[in-house]
Chains A and B, each alone.
Chain A
Amino acid sequence: MRSTIRARAGRILAIVGLIAATLAPATTSVHAADGDLILKVGTDQEFSGLNPWQSVYVLDYEVFTLNYDLLVGYDKDLNYTEGFATSWTTSDDGKTTTFKIRPGMKWSDGQPATADDVAYTYGFVLDALSKETTLGSGYLDGYVSSAGVKSVKAVDPETVEITTETPTPLLLAAYVPILPKHVWEKYSLEEIANAEAKGFFANDPPVVGTGPYQAVEYTPGQFMKFQRNPNYWGKQGAADQIIITHFENNDTMTQALKNGELDYARGINADAFDALKGTPDIVPVEGFANGYSYLTFNGYPKAIKDGGSSTRATADPAFRDALAWAIDEQQLVDRVLAGHGTPGTSLLPPFQAKWYVAPDPSVLRQFDIAKADEKLTAAGYVKDASGNRLDKEGKPINLRMTWPASESELATAAQFITEWWGQLGIKVNAGVTEDNTLLVDLTPPEYDPPGKADFDTYMWGWVGDVDPSSLLEPFTTDQIGGSSDTFWSNARFDELFKQQGQTIDETQRKAMLKEMQEIFYKEVPNIPLYYDSELHAYRTDHFGGWQNQPPENGTPLFGFGPIGYTLLTDATAAPSPSASEATAPSAGASATAAPGDSGSPTSGSGTNTGLLLALGAVVLVAIVGTLAVRRRGAKATDEE
């Protein structure tokens, strides 16, 4: 008889059906309630939180410029424009800049936003600097210190004076958010700067700011939700809310964009990016990177016990120059980046259009193995009988080459370079190193605690600000023991670095930066391999008005400041807002959050319900398990 088996199958089907029944209505029951327009953004990066001083990633900078204004903002062409201040004038000696603050400006909570807030924010940084306290992750205070800010004074509610040690172009470039004094002054330096301190001020939502959108909900590791600031002084963006979600898996993010569950995706894989081309309603954007990937030589000038480079050759500019002739940057772009990048030359990327100087064709290195060979021989690196290249001590050159595990594409670059340099009789031992171990290996004896600079060559990347200073600084002598990974030292480069930081006139400054780039190209402390593109994409069916910042080579979002968000328009408004929302199951889902409650975070209730559900599931497992065991046990004893 089969009946019992069938009965069991029936029970199983019933259970499956029950589960299916609870799931079935799901897709249809989620729909917009009051037509709030939500911009949904996906990113590959992780949030560092809402306290701007703790910012590390591009994403964190994006978050704080949505919440707050910089003193001086950037327009879509990356020119300075009004921010917290509307205008600024510099005194005759160039050391005092007077900023005019917008009259009648309000914080998102309705309190007046005045010069006092600027004086508080800059004063807070100066206080931290004078006490040598690391301000959070230590990135933002550097803008104030490198501009040489001495003092800040609120003359009246609409006027603030900032004095610097010398005239400097870096004050306007300071990427420091102006924070509301009435919120932040309640917390001590320690409570703001130190994430581990008792009473740490995480700036939990709702955030009070003057930016176009303020964070109202934040679930660490997952997403952040912003609500439009009704008090914003500038153009109001079309989106009522913005939700930025962190994606662990790049492919899922791309699929979500294709599905209409996202309107914008940042940091798409090259393969997925190419596949997006031609997808209806999706525009892929390839922006220039404000940074580059490089191959660094260990240029440490002295021998290091149990460490340092395996050969003195890496400290010799002639050797490095010769090896740079044996790298085909275009090939690397094509094969490593699938064409999404440009070959490297200068330590300033072409994104820095104002400052980038392409090497003169007369000195530009082409890919030429024979020439590299000649140059090596001419510089005194001869081959032995078996074809091995010898260093000046007569030892065969076996270069170690490594890269951080997080930058997996560099493994491909290493294969090519190994092959090319192999043709010069230089053996390369290439292998990946875990990021943190690599950071330890790179530290020189000047570091505290002293390291051994135990590497020959390695690859990684640098990313810059709008102002070029941060990309130049790691190559100054002062940074050996700091951010320098080449241990290269050049007196003229150092002098020019200092001068350019005190030169307002852009023509003069450009001349200095040109000379710096020339010195760098000639001495080859590192070989810029390529400028990797920023691969983003957006949908045009919910929002219009997407504009790249800067127009020629930028991306609409994740640039500099919130302008890309405020330029957006409602693409659904004109024809029929409900029709487009009904097409995709969840793409059309909009929020029901009342505009009035821009405050209260709602994460608490969500977690609780999730936990309850989980508990329910566990209980269910337990019941089913127990029942199954009972019945089987009972049967077994019955029938045996």
Chain B
Amino acid sequence: MATRFIVRRFAQAALTIFLIVILNFILFRAMPGSPDRVLARNPNVSPEAIQQIRERWGIDKPLIPDQLIAYIGATFRGDLGNSFAEQGRPVTEVVGSRLGPTLLLFGLGEIIAIVIGLALGAYAGWRRGGPLDLVGNGVSLILYSMPYFLLGMILLLIFASTLHWFPSFGMTTLGVTHDSPLAYLADVSAHLVLPVATVALGLIGQYSILMRSSIIETMSDEYITTARAKGITDSRVLRGHALPNAMLPTVSLIAINLGYVVAGAITVEVVFNWPGLGTLTVDALKSRDYAVLQGIFLVLSVSVVFANLGADMIYGRLDPRVRA
């Protein structure tokens, strides 16, 4: 039964990815204008030359079926095309080189947010009305409602511009050749602090609010009363009975959240000039680099599919009813 559940989920995921590929194609072709028109602003370009460029980029052929079939075939061969703005560099290479920094930034941010956010929320909910709840809830609401952009700028102004504790931009210090991997790690870490803090703080607010209400809801359930009536200690009721059930909505939230990584990535990365997918997205949008945009969107939508798949699996572990 468990196997069937897994197979079904994987089949669904595969179908979703196929639909994403098609949607991706249509979406980008439906956008106004085309890259060759940018060249029309150049007084020296002849119409013949523009025609050449169209052929070069394959935008002279009919959209459907020629371009669509070519696109689907190429995508499944792992060929995402070439970047228009980066002089024909393969998209896989362009996107691949930016994937690492984004994973690093958001991976760390997520871990910190999960650990602190859930702990904070659980404790605040359990001690509802207590001092930590009052302060924590207020802070969480502020953090939750604050856009990454603003949060990032505030951190940057305080910790980089005023206190000079951390560098304000990039992933490494300009012009430094690192003698050892450790020196490199240290340099990257220093650059990581502010962007990771931005991501983590934004998410902590969200996670703790949800965890808190989820715990509060669970606490009124009858099995909690039963557990307490059995004389189990307060902390064991929390960890053994309330938490596992309260975790369920949080898991889906975290999984869904991965989908918003792109929105967050763009603003956080732009604020700190972080060389990840977010800054790449902005650049690609500016230069109308269709191929790269498609690549990014594909990577992101596929990772959302996988995140949800992962959530389903974890959900299955947490709540055996789902597996049935």
Interface residues of B in 92-135 (CB under 8 A from A): 94, 97-104, 107-108, 110-112, 114-116, 119, 123
User: Contact at B175–A225, with CB atoms within 8 Å?
Assistant: yes
Q: Which residues of the partner chain B approach A249 to less than 8 Å between Cβ atoms?
A: 270-271, 273
Within the assembled complex, what's the spacing in Å between the Cα atoms of A247 and B168?
Answer: 12
Within the assembled complex, what's the spacing in Å between the Cα atoms of A593 and B318?
Answer: 53
Residue A491 CB within 8 A of the other chain: no
Binding stretch for chain A, among B14-22, B38-46, B210-218, B294-302: B38-46
20 A-B pairs (CB sep. < 8 Å): A4-B236, A8-B119, A29-B187, A30-B187, A36-B175, A54-B87, A139-B44, A141-B44, A202-B87, A248-B270, A248-B273, A261-B169, A436-B34, A443-B37, A589-B175, A614-B100, A618-B103, A624-B114, A629-B317, A632-B243
Residue B275 CB within 8 A of the other chain: yes
Q: How near does chain B come to A592, taking the closest CB pair, in angstroms? A: 4
B interface residue count range (under 10 / 10 to 19 / 20 to 34 / 35 or more) = 35 or more
Nearest B-chain residue to A21, judged by Cβ? B189
Q: How near does chain B come to A269, taking the closest CB pair, in angstroms? A: 13
Q: How near does chain A come to B135, taking the closest CB pair, in angstroms? A: 16
Binding stretch for chain B, among A99-107, A174-182, A251-259, A366-374: A251-259
User: Contact at A483–B41, with CB atoms within 8 Å?
Assistant: yes
Q: Which residues of the partner chain A approach B97 to less than 8 Å between Cβ atoms?
A: 607
Within the assembled complex, what's the spacing in Å between the Cα atoms of A378 and B265?
Answer: 58
User: Contact at B33–A439, with CB atoms within 8 Å?
Assistant: yes
Within the assembled complex, what's the spacing in Å between the Cα atoms of A54 and B83?
Answer: 14
User: Contact at A258–B86, with CB atoms within 8 Å?
Assistant: no
Q: What string of 1s and 0s marks CB contacts (under 8 Å) between A481-509 and chain B?
A: 11100000000000000000000000000
- List residues of B whose CB falls within 8 A of some A CB: 32-34, 37-53, 56-57, 82, 85-89, 94, 97-104, 107-108, 110-112, 114-116, 119, 123, 153, 156-157, 160-161, 164-177, 179, 181, 183-193, 233-236, 238-241, 243-244, 247, 269-273, 275, 279-280, 282-283, 286-288, 314, 317-318
Q: Which residues of the partner chain B approach A9 to less than 8 Å between Cβ atoms?
A: 119
Of A261, A443, A615, A625, the contact of B167 (CB 8 Å cutoff): A261
User: Contact at B174–A38, with CB atoms within 8 Å?
Assistant: yes
User: Contact at A252–B87, with CB atoms within 8 Å?
Assistant: no
Within the assembled complex, what's the spacing in Å between the Cα atoms of A251 and B169?
Answer: 11
Within the assembled complex, what's the spacing in Å between the Cα atoms of A33 and B280?
Answer: 32
Q: Which residues of the partner chain B approach A4 to less than 8 Å between Cβ atoms?
A: 235-236, 239
Residue A243 CB within 8 A of the other chain: yes
Binding stretch for chain B, among A86-94, A129-137, A529-537, A549-557: A129-137
User: DSSP majority for the B interface?
Assistant: helix
Interface residues of A in 5-35 (CB under 8 A from B): 5, 8-9, 12, 15-16, 19, 22-23, 25-27, 29-30, 33
Q: A4-B239, A440-B32, A609-B181 are in contact. Are A255 and B161 (CB under 8 A)?
A: yes
Residue among B37, B39, B53 facing the most chain A CB atoms (10 A cut-off): B37
User: Contact at B87–A51, with CB atoms within 8 Å?
Assistant: yes
Q: A26-B187, A30-B173, A30-B187 are in contact. Are A220 and B94 (CB under 8 A)?
A: yes
User: Contact at A255–B168, with CB atoms within 8 Å?
Assistant: yes
Nearest A-chain residue to B174, judged by Cβ? A243
Binding stretch for chain B, among A193-201, A286-294, A319-327: A193-201
User: Contact at A259–B190, with CB atoms within 8 Å?
Assistant: no
User: Contact at A137–B119, with CB atoms within 8 Å?
Assistant: no
Q: How near does chain A come to B114, taking the closest CB pair, in angstroms? A: 8
Residue among B50, B110, B119, B175 facing the most chain A CB atoms (10 A cut-off): B175
Q: Which residues of the partner chain A approach B183 to less than 8 Å between Cβ atoms?
A: 29-30
Q: How near does chain B come to A41, taking the closest CB pair, in angstroms? A: 10
Q: Which residues of the partner chain B approach A27 to less than 8 Å between Cβ atoms?
A: 165-167, 190
User: Contact at B235–A5, with CB atoms within 8 Å?
Assistant: yes
Within the assembled complex, what's the spacing in Å between the Cα atoms of A48 and B271?
Answer: 22
Q: How near does chain B come to A441, taking the closest CB pair, in angstroms? A: 10
Of B37, B114, B171, B187, the contact of A440 (CB 8 Å cutoff): B37
A interface residue count range (under 10 / 10 to 19 / 20 to 34 / 35 or more) = 35 or more
Nearest B-chain residue to A221, judged by Cβ? B283
Q: A49-B87, A602-B177, A617-B103 are in contact. Are A437 and B33 (CB under 8 A)?
A: yes
Interface residues of A in 37-67 (CB under 8 A from B): 38, 40, 46, 48-49, 51, 54
Of B57, B164, B171, B280, the contact of A585 (CB 8 Å cutoff): B164
Of B41, B107, B169, B176, the contact of A617 (CB 8 Å cutoff): B107
Within the assembled complex, what's the spacing in Å between the Cα atoms of A508 and B317?
Answer: 87
Q: How near does chain A come to B259, taking the closest CB pair, in angstroms? A: 16
Q: Which residues of the partner chain B approach A220 to less than 8 Å between Cβ atoms?
A: 86, 89, 94
Residue A270 CB within 8 A of the other chain: no
Q: Which residues of the partner chain A approach B273 to less than 8 Å between Cβ atoms?
A: 245, 247-249, 252-253, 256
User: Contact at B49–A33, with CB atoms within 8 Å?
Assistant: no
Of B82, B94, B184, the contact of A196 (CB 8 Å cutoff): B82
Nearest A-chain residue to B292, judged by Cβ? A221
Nearest B-chain residue to A198, judged by Cβ? B88
